[in-house]
Amino acid sequence: MSLLLRDTENYGNIYIEDAAIVEIGCAAYDADTVIDAKRKALVPGFVNTHTHAAMTLFRGYADDLPLQTWLQDWIWPAEAKLTGEDVYWGTKLACLEMIRTGTTTFNDMYWHVLESAKAVDEMGIRGVISNVFIDVDGGSGGSDEETQRENKRLITKITKDYSDRVIPALGPHAIYIVSEESLLWIAEFAREEDLLVHIHVSETEQEVKDCIEKTGMRPVEYLDRLGFLGPNVVSAHCVWLDDNEISLLAKHNVKIAHTPTSNMKLAVGQKMRYPCLRAAGVSISIGTDGCASNNNLNMLESAKFASLSQKSATNQPTMMPACDAFSMVTKHGAQALRIGEGGGEIIEGALADLLLIDLQLPGMTPLHNLDSNLIYASSNCVDTTICDGVVLMEGGVVDGEEEILMKASETAFDLVNRRQ
Amino acid sequence: MSLLLRDTENYGNIYIEDAAIVEIGCAAYDADTVIDAKRKALVPGFVNTHTHAAMTLFRGYADDLPLQTWLQDWIWPAEAKLTGEDVYWGTKLACLEMIRTGTTTFNDMYWHVLESAKAVDEMGIRGVISNVFIDVDGGSGGSDEETQRENKRLITKITKDYSDRVIPALGPHAIYIVSEESLLWIAEFAREEDLLVHIHVSETEQEVKDCIEKTGMRPVEYLDRLGFLGPNVVSAHCVWLDDNEISLLAKHNVKIAHTPTSNMKLAVGQKMRYPCLRAAGVSISIGTDGCASNNNLNMLESAKFASLSQKSATNQPTMMPACDAFSMVTKHGAQALRIGEGGGEIIEGALADLLLIDLQLPGMTPLHNLDSNLIYASSNCVDTTICDGVVLMEGGVVDGEEEILMKASETAFDLVNRRQ
């Protein structure tokens, strides 16, 4: 299959064959599909490095509450009633929202992972999918060995049953809810099987205090001692870090998924130490987190929150300029999720995960600076979304949208009623 | 002229005659125009209480710079070349963006005010329009008396030449650039003519330090001593306030235009003291500020920034819940700009400044809570914008959009090239 994007504003013609960008700025070749890209700019698809996709079902369900009330009285009781069918429709809705806002790859951690995998496969985007791994405090109900076996089975099944776009990973939820034995097993198994590991680290101060009390070490030091840290680890939040932890993250080339919007909404009490992390050379990308704590999956909006909250926290309007925020939602995200050579960039030979940005919008006018308009002015500007060389949205239209909205809506109400 | 909004999701049928809401939840009367509002929610139009509309021309022109570099090397030299024609097209672009994102009334301060007035009149929205009033440090080049005379002339002309939707006001830029004599004159003239006064107050710490050095008082104390404060004063920013200043603002019923996005982007160094201001009973609405420092005019996005930045600053996820943020962008804004009885609410007899929200969007699905979805999830959800009983956008389409985008774009490039 071939695809020609004709006359993009910034790169001219783009020729795509199967899943890859073949030629940039080429002649107007014949192709199976030709898209008129006049007055549209070509950019790489966005990469969301931390979310819980199916939590779209809880969008607006319980906001503005103290953290513990929110979790114990609202989210956990509803999640206790969660079925695979719920996760399927919640993930479909999430993928729809991502396609509309330009995300072509996301890093997910949630329950009923085979249903997420099915949804991602059907929707055509790229997903790194991990099941929540919890084996203490009654989490998933299983012992550490049972949980390990079950995760192994799920990974094998995802690899076997779904397209290459559905990438299985390990999802140890957090150090306070996964046993030391399982963390060791996960690190080992991930190395053997070359898997990504997706974990929450130091979102709250309480987590750090508890870890120090239990182990005598801070969370990143504890993970380092276990031999858990490595370039395959995507670590969400990382708000409460000291200097030594920053050095350890840099040393092991751990990838941070920065979640500015969620951190502000849940009031985690501190801003991620971006200037220090950057100075240490740590790779930082951006995650939206789930829709119960953001409440959307819009990467450009999260990038604006990232940049503005760092300018504000450091009192420096020069902090995290638009071009850096843009790299975080494209190239750095693609590197964190290992989307192959040239991932998150417009390069011949790279995977064709691409967007056409509508430049005929007030927020794109005037076009003094594309990065600036994308990050600061116009979070709803994606006209066409292409993933793996396949057009998933053109002119703002995604096939099957109406059914997904209806089913997800029904599913969400059914789920929250079920808990009562 | 009559207008029927048929079958809104939350209010049923709405019958509008001329500029006013006549009946809510009524039978499906015949009307000159009927709009099918199925799967759409009715909400009041948003009110933006602080912006510089024509600065859309500088969107993305100079970001991520230190404040003084930004002003002295980029904005001021370009503004020095500004013509009435520039302001006209910049304001048209701003109005277009506001209509698309649901703002029906805005509070403006900029140069060449008659051109802004013309643009607002043509575009059909409601604008409180003030010319920048500067009479020291070589501002507009005139003496205080000349500047006063000129402002009087402009206000008379706006009142005479344009529709009632174009509301003239006084725009003393800030205490450090308007003479004490002129501040006194403005306060007096505004009372005589029943005018709104639009001023920047305590955006930066420097302004407070300079004021103390010059007058021995903090800015709000200084304005109080001049007899300047009153319920007709809309005071933008108000970031650096002490307890006594908060009491003075409450006592005089001054309206604060909170500008969270701009304050974060320009790194003004502190968060507005929302909990204290609220406890004191000060009226707080939201402004986007101009597009050189935000960089858009999207009120829902600014409301999300307001809520999340207050949650984050206070470490309280319960701070500024969605319903409060929603009141700030509707009712409180309408009160600040004195949009008549029931302004910013859905009430019979109130002006028909209304929006239909598209509920068939991922960000609106599921609809557990409309306020929450509006503030946190979906800043691009306005399907239909009605101002003064007139439909300005239906189904996302604004008449004449293409010409405005083209002309504003040409004007912007011409302007920034002219400065060199």
The phi, psi pair for B73, rounded to 5°, reads -95, -20
Residues 36-75, chain B: which have Cβ within 8 Å of A?
56-61, 63-67, 70
In a domain, A11, yes or no: no
- At residue B140, the pLDDT reads 53
In a domain, A85, yes or no: yes
pLDDT tens per residue, range B406-418: 999 999 999 999 8
pLDDT reading at A141 higher than 60: no
DSSP for B191-232, written as a single string: HHHT--EEEEE--SHHHHHHHHHHHSS-HHHHHHHTT--STT
pLDDT reading at B266 higher than 60: yes
**Together in a domain, B144 and B7:** no
Contacts of A413 in chain B (CB under 8 A): 366
In a domain, A233, yes or no: yes
In a domain, A351, yes or no: no
Contact A339, A105 (CB under 8 A): yes
In a domain, B248, yes or no: yes
How distant is the Cα of A292 from the closest Cα of chain B, in angstroms? Answer: 10
- At residue A68, the pLDDT reads 85
Average pLDDT for B239-264:
98
- At residue A140, the pLDDT reads 53
| Residue % of chain B over a pLDDT of 70 | 98
Average pLDDT for B371-382:
97
Domain end position, chosen among B282, B308, B336: B336
For B319, the closest chain A residue by CA position comes to A64
Determine whether A395 is exposed, middle or buried from the number of CB atoms within 10 Å of its CB (0-12, 13-18, 19+): exposed
Chain B touched by A368 (CB under 8 Å): yes
Three-class secondary structure assignment of A185-208: HHHHHHHHHCCCEEEEECCCHHHH
Token pair listed for A107: 């890093």
pLDDT tens per residue, range A220-230: 999 999 999 99
pLDDT reading at A81 higher than 70: yes
| Residue % of chain A over a pLDDT of 90 | 93
Could you tell me whether strands A382-387 and A390-393 are parallel, antiparallel, or unpaired per DSSP bridges?
Answer: antiparallel
Residues 277-306, chain A: which have Cβ within 8 Å of B?
291, 294-296, 298, 301, 305
Chain A touched by B397 (CB under 8 Å): no
Beta-sheet strand order (sheet of B382-387): B40-44, B354-358, B382-387, B390-393
**Together in a domain, B357 and B291:** no
- At residue B67, the pLDDT reads 83
pLDDT tens per residue, range A341-372: 899 999 999 999 999 999 999 999 999 999 99
**Together in a domain, B306 and B330:** yes
Q: How many CB atoms lie within 10 A of CB A192?
A: 8
Residue contacts between A and B (CB atoms, under 8 Å): 200
Contacts of A66 in chain B (CB under 8 A): 317-318
**What residues pair up with A333 in beta bridges, in sequence order?**
none
Average pLDDT for A295-305:
98
**What residues pair up with A361 in beta bridges, in sequence order?**
none
For A95, the closest chain B residue by CA position comes to B362
DSSP E strand boundaries for A173-297: 197-201, 233-237, 255-258, 283-286
pLDDT reading at A89 higher than 70: yes
CB nearest A64 (choices: B321, B373, B378): B321
How distant is the Cα of B98 from the closest Cα of chain A, in angstroms? Answer: 9
Tell me the C-alpha to C-alpha distance, in Å, between residue A347 and each of A28, A41, A124, B36.
18, 15, 21, 47
* Cβ contact, residue pair B311, A365, below 8 Å: no
**Together in a domain, B153 and B236:** yes
pLDDT tens per residue, range B301-330: 999 999 999 999 999 999 999 999 999 999
**Together in a domain, B251 and B366:** no
Q: Which residue type sits at A170?
A: L
Q: Which residue type sits at A246?
A: I
* Cβ contact, residue pair B96, A362, below 8 Å: yes
pLDDT reading at B62 higher than 70: yes
Q: Any idea what DSSP says for residue A215?
A: H
**What residues pair up with A41 in beta bridges, in sequence order?**
A357
For A70, the closest chain B residue by CA position comes to B317
CA–CA separation, B123 vs B117, rounded Å? 10
- At residue B68, the pLDDT reads 85
* Cβ contact, residue pair B264, A295, below 8 Å: no
pLDDT tens per residue, range B124-164: 999 999 999 998 865 555 678 888 999 999 999 999 999 99
**What's the ipTM?**
0.97
In a domain, A57, yes or no: yes
> Which pLDDT band holds residue A136 (cuts at 50, 70, 90)?
confident
**Mean of pLDDT over chain B:** 96
Contacts of A412 in chain B (CB under 8 A): 365-366, 368
* Cβ contact, residue pair A365, B59, below 8 Å: yes
- At residue A145, the pLDDT reads 85
**Together in a domain, B58 and B81:** yes
**Together in a domain, B40 and B50:** no
pLDDT reading at A184 higher than 70: yes
- At residue A142, the pLDDT reads 64
Which residue of A266, A365, A370 is the best one to mutate when testing the B interface, meaning the one whose CB has the most B CBs within 10 A? A365
**Together in a domain, B288 and B329:** yes
How distant is the Cα of B373 from the closest Cα of chain A, in angstroms? Answer: 6
Average pLDDT for A245-263:
98
**Together in a domain, B39 and B52:** no
In a domain, B409, yes or no: no
Nearest Cα to A201, choosing from A312, A109, A129?
A: A109
CATH of the domain at B12: 2.30.40.10
CA–CA separation, A126 vs B148, rounded Å? 62
- At residue A67, the pLDDT reads 83
* Cβ contact, residue pair B100, A376, below 8 Å: no
- Max Cα distance, chain A (Å): 66
For A301, the closest chain B residue by CA position comes to B301
> Which pLDDT band holds residue A10 (cuts at 50, 70, 90)?
very high
For A270, the closest chain B residue by CA position comes to B312
In a domain, A124, yes or no: yes
CATH of the domain at A196: 3.20.20.140
User: What is the span of the domain harbouring residue B193?
Assistant: 46-336
How distant is the Cα of A81 from the closest Cα of chain B, in angstroms? Answer: 18
CA–CA separation, B273 vs B251, rounded Å? 17
**Mean of pLDDT over chain A:** 96
Average pLDDT for B54-81:
93
- At residue B293, the pLDDT reads 94
- At residue B146, the pLDDT reads 87
Sequence length of chain A is 420
How distant is the Cα of A310 from the closest Cα of chain B, in angstroms? Answer: 9
Contacts of B298 in chain A (CB under 8 A): 363
Contact A239, A263 (CB under 8 A): yes
Tell me the C-alpha to C-alpha distance, in Å, between residue B332 and each of A29, A96, B83, B258, B327.
57, 35, 34, 11, 6
**Together in a domain, B83 and B19:** no
**Together in a domain, B174 and B244:** yes
**Together in a domain, B268 and B298:** yes
Contact B50, B130 (CB under 8 A): no
* Cβ contact, residue pair A363, B296, below 8 Å: yes
Number of compact structural domains in chain B: 2
pLDDT reading at B26 higher than 70: yes
Nearest Cα to B379, choosing from B332, B343, B325?
A: B325
Quote the Cα angle for B44-B47-B52, to 5°.
155
Chain A touched by B376 (CB under 8 Å): yes
- At residue B253, the pLDDT reads 98
> Which pLDDT band holds residue A138 (cuts at 50, 70, 90)?
low
Nearest Cα to A47, choosing from A330, A342, A340, A269?
A: A330
pLDDT reading at A144 higher than 90: no
pLDDT reading at A151 higher than 60: yes
CA–CA separation, A386 vs B245, rounded Å? 54
Q: Which residue has the higher pLDDT, A203 or B142?
A: A203
Contacts of B93 in chain A (CB under 8 A): 362, 365
Q: Any idea what DSSP says for residue B45?
A: P
CB nearest B366 (choices: A66, A402, A409): A409
- At residue B420, the pLDDT reads 61
> Which pLDDT band holds residue B71 (cuts at 50, 70, 90)?
confident
